[in-house]
């Protein structure tokens, strides 16, 4: 790969990190609505980073960034009014996340260990309890429950895929998927806690940090996904 492209790509990632930090500062010390202007810059920086590193226009990643931007802005601006639109774009973003896993899922590792099945079960039980309690608390307050439940189901499937994939393809790079799945879950949980349960700015800030972490790690993961997808469990590429 051309070294100039790599260097330029890292510049875009740095720009994304700086913009992400600015989003947190604006939310914490100014009006959250000012952050709406920063979200597109943040997402564009990460898209350009992934594009420069791979020399490929990743349509699915672009749609993911676009749909999450729309969802996040509508959620903060007036979720009750735009609940249907926000939920539909939330479904789009979840589907895009699933599609981004496709290259990794094409090849199953020849080495499959079940030594952390117990940890996965415990994690899913904990995740299920937290998410179930949140849905129970929030559902009566959501303007359109049907579309909310559809987006929640797709969301749960996506989270499950990201937590289970590292046991399907055991390349060490897939450890990032735990972080992506956890951040995707965390941003939703903290956002709805802030919106409907306890309107403390700290919850919104944690949700925003999760969002920024998710997108940065995902963009970095996508720059390495071809190598990860070719892993056959024997330590060689195929």
pLDDT (tens digit per residue) in 20-50: 999 999 988 888 888 888 999 999 999 999 9
Residue 97 has a pLDDT of: 92
- Low-confidence residues of the chain, pLDDT below 70? 1-8, 106-124, 127, 144, 168-171, 228-238
CA dist 180 and 83 (Å) reads 25
Residue 231 DSSP symbol: B
Question: 98 is written with which tokens?
Answer: 């699933």
Residue 6 has a pLDDT of: 52
User: Exposed/middle/buried for 180, CB within 10 Å: 0-12, 13-18, 19+?
Assistant: buried
Residue 238 has a pLDDT of: 40
CA 105 to chain centre: 18
Q: Which residues of 183-194 are buried (b: 16+ CB within 10 A; e: fewer)?
A: bbbbbbbbbbbb
CA dist 166 and 120 (Å) reads 11
Residue 29 has a pLDDT of: 86
Residue 56 has a pLDDT of: 87
30 CB contacts (<8 Å, ≥6 apart)?
A: none
Domain boundaries, the chain: 3-229
Residue 58 has a pLDDT of: 92
């Amino acid at each position: 790969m051309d070294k100039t492209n790599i260097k330029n790509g890292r510049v875009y990632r740095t720009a994304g990190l700086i913009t992400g930090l600015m989003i947190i500062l604006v939310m914490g010390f100014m009006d959250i609505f000012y952050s709406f202007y920063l979200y597109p810059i943040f997402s564009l920086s990460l898209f350009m980073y992934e594009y420069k590193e791979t020399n490929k226009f990743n349509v699915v990643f672009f749609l993911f960034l676009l749909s999450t931007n729309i969802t996040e802005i509508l959620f903060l601006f007036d979720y009750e009014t735009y609940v249907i639109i926000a939920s539909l774009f939330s479904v789009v973003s979840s589907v895009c996340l699933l599609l981004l896993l496709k290259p990794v899922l094409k090849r199953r590792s020849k080495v499959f260990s079940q030594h952390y099945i117990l940890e996965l079960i415990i994690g899913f039980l904990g995740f299920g309890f937290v998410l179930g309690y949140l849905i129970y608390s929030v559902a009566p307050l959501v303007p359109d429950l049907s579309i909310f439940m559809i987006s929640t189901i797709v969301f749960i499937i996506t989270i499950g895929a990201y937590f289970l994939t590292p046991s399907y393809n055991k390349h060490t790079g897939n450890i990032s998927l735990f972080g992506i799945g956890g951040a995707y879950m965390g941003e939703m949980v903290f956002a709805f806690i802030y919106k409907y349960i306890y309107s403390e700015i700290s919850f919104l800030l944690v949700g925003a940090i999760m969002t920024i972490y998710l997108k940065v790690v995902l963009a970095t993961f996508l720059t390495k996904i071809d190598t990860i997808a070719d892993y056959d469990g024997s330590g060689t590429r195929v």
